[in-house]
């Protein structure tokens, strides 16, 4: 299963199905190893704090569910399932990751109650920047605008096939990531720890990791369509953090999170793992769209090329 | 015109014994693919449906029909239900069988093809990749051998019929990565099972009331007395910063240990780890001081209950909300209890948090019990530390009585679990990123002055990009690709 020969072929088409399939596999292979580490560090931390390395808590169980779905993906490739089916499993895996990240906090209970959204959509939307330091609030507004603009520009670049616009889109994401880094550093200094303590902080850190992973993948793929599909996922994570957690001030850590070594290690691996796996959704989705388009009769394709009927 | 030969295809049907079928099914990756989603779906249900609650809870939460389905399918205790355990057992059998099946293949891969087999490939229809270098064979040999050694290859050089052959092998041991990964998961499962065996491990929740002693019945090997339970808060907030139980460990009444168990620091004695697990409230302690100065402790009981959202709240216990004083003339009756009183216009309107940071009790006194003429006296809300006078008595809210639950653990399976976790991670990295490779590099003079033919035969069907890069790197840049027949 080594991705040696699955390496990205030096093809003219940056979004050829082979290339997208290979990229999805590479992302999932890496994300899966990190997801395994998320479960392992979570178990080690649970042993330390809850005195049981595994207690079928909804959060740890949902991480296991995501792990199992990706196992199906990897074994499906091994037994040479149709690649489209495997791509669908990759999408299902990302859904399981999202369920593990947010869904279980909303619908499940358990010992990870500190990740539960603390307010309704309307209340939280009215308090998007409440409790933040002025500098952090300004930086937050700037990076939100940068990411949103990046998406709009990338969407335009993908529609009009403009390389210059695509470059501007990437620069906007990089600018957003830089601003967000400044915001995270500032909050970390204020809190005396990395911003992993509340649902809002976790969402912002997750989105930051997504931006970094996005820039790396985008550099490899060099296709604005990827940004057009992937950036809404990043914006979705930010929307979750900003709109569902009204209180954004630096708050003291609950007793169960006081061990900073495990908090930093576990959450840092989690945000990188989730970012990689969620972004693999974009490549898997593009693979499905691309293969579907190639299956269409030639006449339909020509209509598409001419801008539709 | 010759007639085209007719071919008849027939599916070859081989009869398999039941044992053979079972074995084939057990070691099939397809079986794995059926079991994994089944466990994933079951676990998702388990993550969504609250576990181990009384049947009434499910009826209340999901309605009569769905509640009935949940309790009768065992979805209320999913992870210990027979069908779920059967699924896990099937997966483990499949895991072990797959690892066993992979053993022979891994060993073959570990050994790699013989140099003779590789040499045959050099002359086979799938000719090896071929380059030509403007240098002598010995010069290239030295550089290639050094380059390959630098790339962590074991290099063996031979000379045959004027050709120099370099057999390079890399990461042969990585052939076992897959087996290690699979067996590591098995190891984790084994550790988990060992951690649940009553004879070897211990998993006991020890709940003690402050000041009380938990009597051991042959489980821990010692009794536990809770001297004090402490709950601290971050300044100016209702967020707890510490849960700590000061305990004394006793054996036959004699002290054998003393210490503090917190959430993030367990107290270990005789191989048993005591960690702070949860806390509770047993009651409210009032101190009644009579006119003569005699003090009498009175306890009103508290019990956990669930609010509309299913969250645990602490309320007065129906049985223990009335306390008679020792003279049997007076009684105290509690009507309400609040953990963290919020006051508005002099009235307590609710609780600010789920912690007993500022507890208050709505109290009334009853007098004239001996004379058969009851008289009620409303005291209103009494906060912790405050006093109310009641006839010739003074009633003081001394404190709440905590209970502390310590988790006593002795897990013999833990070393296996950690070893499994480490191995599974290493195994995955090896499996995904390292691949055992063997290839033969044959260097032969072309006959032209200073030109060497460099042919490469890989162990697999084709030369991987990584191998190609490796050889190119080792041969440096003087090479140009050509076909073998030049």
Look at A130-134, A200-204, A257-261, B284-288 and tell me which has the smallest mean pLDDT: A130-134
Question: Does the residue B458 lie in any domain?
Answer: yes
Contact B195, B417 (CB under 8 A): yes
Q: Which residues pair with B407 in a beta bridge?
A: B205, B275
Q: What is the dihedral angle through the alpha carbons of B214, B219, B220, B221, rounded to the nearest 10 degrees?
A: 100
Which whole number is the average pLDDT over B42-58?
Answer: 87
Compute the distance between CA of residue A33 and CA of residue A74 in angstroms, rounded to an integer.
Answer: 12
Q: Read off the pLDDT of residues B165-195 as tens digits, 9 standing for 90 and up.
A: 888 888 889 999 999 999 999 999 999 988 8
List of residues 6+ apart from A82 with CB closer than 8 A: none
The owner of tokens 């033919």 is B453
Q: Which residue of A has its CA nearest to B79?
A: A56
Look at A100-109, B82-91, B386-395, B435-444 and tell me which has the smallest mean pLDDT: A100-109
What is A85-118 written as a DSSP string?
Answer: HHHHHHHHHHHHHHIIIIIHHHH--SS-GGGS--
Q: Which of A59, A17, A56 is nearest to A38 (CA)?
A: A59
Which run of H or E residues covers position B453? strand B452-458
Considering CB atoms only, which of A29, A51, A71 is closest to B407? A51
Contact A86, A208 (CB under 8 A): no
Contacts of B39 in chain A (CB under 8 A): 68
Considering CB atoms only, which of B30, B51, B277 is closest to A79? B30
Q: Exposed/middle/buried for A268, CB within 10 Å: 0-12, 13-18, 19+?
A: middle
CA distance A186 to chain B (A): 22
Q: What is the pLDDT at residue B309?
A: 60
Over the Cα atoms of chain A, what is R_g?
20
Structural domain span for residue B47? 18-108
Q: Which of A148, A155, A146, A208 is nearest to A176 (CA)?
A: A146
Could you tell me the two tokens for A219? 């550099």
For residues B116 and B95, membership in a common domain is answered with no
For residues B453 and B388, membership in a common domain is answered with no
For residues B104 and B116, membership in a common domain is answered with no
For residues B344 and B299, membership in a common domain is answered with yes
CA distance B109 to chain A (A): 14
Of how many residues is chain A composed? 309
CA A4 vs CA A35, A289, B85: distances in Å: 22, 25, 38
CA distance B307 to chain A (A): 15
Question: Does the residue B337 lie in any domain?
Answer: yes
Strands B341-344 and B347-351, bridge-based pairing: antiparallel
Q: How many CB atoms lie within 10 A of CB B275?
A: 24
CA A114 vs CA A41, A245, A254, B205, B294: distances in Å: 18, 11, 8, 24, 47
The owner of tokens 């032969």 is B444
Q: Which residue of B has its CA nearest to A50?
A: B277
Q: Is the pLDDT of residue B484 over 50?
A: no
Contacts of A36 in chain B (CB under 8 A): 424-425, 428
CATH number at residue B151: 3.30.310.80
Contacts of B50 in chain A (CB under 8 A): 109
| Total number of domains in chain B | 3
For residues B292 and B382, membership in a common domain is answered with yes
Considering CB atoms only, which of B47, B263, B432 is closest to A104? B47
Contacts of A32 in chain B (CB under 8 A): 428
The residue from B108, B125, B157 where one domain ends is B108
Q: How many CB atoms lie within 10 A of CB A77?
A: 18
Compute the count of residue pairs across chains A and B with CB atoms less than 8 Å apart. 125
Question: Does the residue B380 lie in any domain?
Answer: yes
Q: Is A92 on the interface with B (CB under 8 A)?
A: no
Q: Which residues pair with B396 in a beta bridge?
A: B287, B387
Could you tell me the two tokens for B20? 């053979």
Considering CB atoms only, which of A54, A99, A252 is closest to B237? A252
CA atoms within 13 A on the CB side of A14: 13
Compute the distance between CA of residue B335 and CA of residue B316 in angstroms, rounded to an integer.
Answer: 8
Contact B467, B144 (CB under 8 A): no
Compute the distance between CA of residue B108 and CA of residue B105 in angstroms, rounded to an integer.
Answer: 5
Look at A2-16, A294-308, B80-94, B224-238 and tell me which has the smallest mean pLDDT: A294-308
CA A217 vs CA A95, A109, B65, B256, B445: distances in Å: 20, 35, 49, 60, 45
The residue from B342, B376, B400 where one domain ends is B400
For residues B58 and B78, membership in a common domain is answered with yes
Residue B359 pLDDT class (50, 70, 90 cuts): very high
Q: How far apart are the first and last CA of chain B?
A: 41
The residue from B348, B381, B400 where one domain ends is B400
Q: Is the pLDDT of residue A127 over 60?
A: yes
Rounded to 10°, the helix B177-194/B82-111 angle is 150
Q: Read off the pLDDT of residues A147-162 as tens digits, 9 standing for 90 and up.
A: 999 999 999 999 988 8
Look at A247-251, B81-85, B178-182, B278-282 and tell me which has the smallest mean pLDDT: A247-251
Percent of chain B with pLDDT over 70: 90
Q: Exposed/middle/buried for B265, CB within 10 Å: 0-12, 13-18, 19+?
A: middle
**Considering only residues 183 to 202 of chain A, which have any Cβ-Cβ distance to chain B shorter than 8 Å?**
none
Could you tell me the two tokens for B264? 């993030």
| Mutation for testing the B interface, residue in A3, A8, A51 having most B CBs under 10 Å | A51
Q: Which residue of A has its CA nearest to B277?
A: A50
Contact B144, B443 (CB under 8 A): yes
Contacts of B418 in chain A (CB under 8 A): 44
For residues B463 and B364, membership in a common domain is answered with no
The owner of tokens 């004083």 is B325
- Better-predicted residue by pLDDT, A119 or B390: B390
Q: What is the pLDDT at residue A247?
A: 79
Question: Does the residue B264 lie in any domain?
Answer: no
Compute the distance between CA of residue A228 and CA of residue A162 in angstroms, rounded to an integer.
Answer: 13
For residues B129 and B103, membership in a common domain is answered with no
Question: Does the residue B423 lie in any domain?
Answer: no
Look at A62-71, A105-114, B274-283, B399-408 and tell me which has the smallest mean pLDDT: A105-114
Q: Is B368 left (phi over 0), alpha (psi -120 to 50) or beta?
A: left
Q: Is A5 on the interface with B (CB under 8 A)?
A: yes
For residues B130 and B161, membership in a common domain is answered with yes
Task: Give alpha helix (H) positions in B27-114.
Answer: 29-48, 55-62, 64-72, 82-111
Contacts of A250 in chain B (CB under 8 A): none
Question: Does the residue B186 lie in any domain?
Answer: no
Compute the distance between CA of residue B215 and CA of residue B201 in angstroms, rounded to an integer.
Answer: 19
Considering CB atoms only, which of B428, B432, B464 is closest to A5? B464
Compute the distance between CA of residue A223 and CA of residue A229 in angstroms, rounded to an integer.
Answer: 11
Could you tell me the two tokens for B201? 């491990």
Contacts of B51 in chain A (CB under 8 A): 56
For residues B306 and B391, membership in a common domain is answered with yes
């Amino acid at each position: 299963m080594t991705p040696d020969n699955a390496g990205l072929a030096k093809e003219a088409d940056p979004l050829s199905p082979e290339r997208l399939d290979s990229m999805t596999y590479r992302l999932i292979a890496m994300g899966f190893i990190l997801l395994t580490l998320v479960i392992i560090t979570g178990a080690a931390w649970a042993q330390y704090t809850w005195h049981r390395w595994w207690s079928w808590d909804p959060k740890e169980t949902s991480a296991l569910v995501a792990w199992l779905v990706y196992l199906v993906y990897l074994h499906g490739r091994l037994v040479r399932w149709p690649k489209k089916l495997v791509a669908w499993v990759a999408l299902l895996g990302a859904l399981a990751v999202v369920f593990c990240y947010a869904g279980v906090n909303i619908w499940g209970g358990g010992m990870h109650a500190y990740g539960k959204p603390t307010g309704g959509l309307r209340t939280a939307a009215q308090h998007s920047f409440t409790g933040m330091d002025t500098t952090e609030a300004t930086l937050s507004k700037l990076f939100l605008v940068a990411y949103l603009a990046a998406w709009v520009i990338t969407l335009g670049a993908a529609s009009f096939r403009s390389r210059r616009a695509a470059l501007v889109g990437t620069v906007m994401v990089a600018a957003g990531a830089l601003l967000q880094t400044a915001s995270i550093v500032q909050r970390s200094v204020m809190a005396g720890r990395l911003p992993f303590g509340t649902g809002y902080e976790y969402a912002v850190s997750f989105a930051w990791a997504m931006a970094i992973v996005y820039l790396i993948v985008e550099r490899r793929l060099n296709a604005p369509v990827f940004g057009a599909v992937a950036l809404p996922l990043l914006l979705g994570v930010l929307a979750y953090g900003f709109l569902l957690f009204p209180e954004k001030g630096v708050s003291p850590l609950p007793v169960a999170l006081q061990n900073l070594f495990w908090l930093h290690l576990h959450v840092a691996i989690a945000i990188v793992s989730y970012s990689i796996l969620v972004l693999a959704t974009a490549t898997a989705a593009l693979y499905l769209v691309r293969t579907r388009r190639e299956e269409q009769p030639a006449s339909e394709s020509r209509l598409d090329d001419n801008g539709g009927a | 015109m010759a007639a085209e030969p007719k071919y008849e295809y027939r599916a070859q049907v081989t009869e398999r014994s039941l044992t053979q079928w079972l074995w084939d099914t057990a070691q099939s990756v397809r079986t794995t693919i059926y079991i994994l989603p089944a466990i994933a779906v079951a676990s998702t249900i388990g993550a969504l449906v609250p576990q181990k609650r009384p049947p009434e809870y499910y009826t209340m939460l999901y309605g009569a029909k769905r509640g009935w389905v949940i309790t009768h399918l065992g979805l209320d205790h999913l992870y210990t239900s027979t069908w779920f355990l059967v699924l896990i057992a099937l997966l483990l059998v499949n895991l072990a069988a797959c690892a066993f099946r992979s053993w022979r293949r891994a060993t073959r891969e570990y050994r790699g093809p013989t140099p003779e087999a590789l040499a045959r490939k050099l002359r086979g229809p799938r000719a090896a990749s071929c380059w030509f270098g403007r240098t002598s064979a010995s010069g290239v040999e030295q550089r290639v051998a050094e380059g390959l050694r630098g790339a962590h290859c074991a290099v063996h050089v031979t000379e045959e019929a004027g050709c120099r052959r370099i057999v390079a092998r890399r990461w042969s041991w990585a052939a076992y990565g897959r087996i290690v990964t699979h067996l590591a998961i098995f190891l984790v499962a084994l550790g988990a099972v060992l951690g649940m065996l009553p004879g070897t491990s211990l998993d006991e929740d020890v709940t003690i009331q402050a000041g009380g002693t938990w009597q051991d019945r042959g489980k821990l090997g010692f009794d536990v007395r809770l001297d004090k339970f402490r709950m601290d808060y971050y300044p100016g907030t209702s967020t707890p910063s510490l849960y700590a139980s000061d305990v004394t460990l006793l054996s036959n009444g004699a002290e054998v240990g003393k210490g503090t168990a917190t959430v993030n620091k367990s107290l270990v004695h005789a191989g048993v780890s005591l960690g702070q697990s949860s806390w509770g409230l047993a009651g409210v302690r009032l101190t009644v001081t009579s006119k003569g100065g005699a003090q009498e402790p009175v306890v009103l009981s508290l019990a956990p209950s669930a609010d509309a959202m299913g969250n645990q709240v602490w309320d007065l216990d129906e049985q223990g909300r009335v306390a008679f004083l020792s003279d049997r003339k007076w009684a105290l009756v509690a009507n309400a209890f609040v953990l963290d009183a919020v006051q508005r216009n002099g009235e307590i309107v609710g609780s600010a948090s789920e912690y007993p940071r500022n507890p208050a009790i709505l109290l009334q006194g009853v007098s004239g019990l001996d004379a058969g003429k009851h008289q009620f006296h409303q005291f209103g809300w009494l906060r912790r530390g405050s006093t109310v006078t009641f006839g010739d008595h003074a009633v003081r809210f001394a404190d709440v009585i905590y209970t502390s639950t310590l988790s006593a653990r002795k897990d013999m399976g833990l070393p296996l679990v950690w070893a499994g976790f480490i191995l599974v991670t290493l195994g995955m990295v090896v499996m995904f990123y390292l691949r055992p490779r063997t290839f033969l590099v044959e260097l032969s003079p072309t006959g032209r002055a200073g030109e060497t033919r460099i042919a490469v035969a890989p162990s697999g069907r084709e030369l991987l990009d990584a191998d190609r890069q490796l050889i190119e790197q080792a041969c440096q840049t003087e090479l140009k690709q050509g076909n073998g027949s030049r």
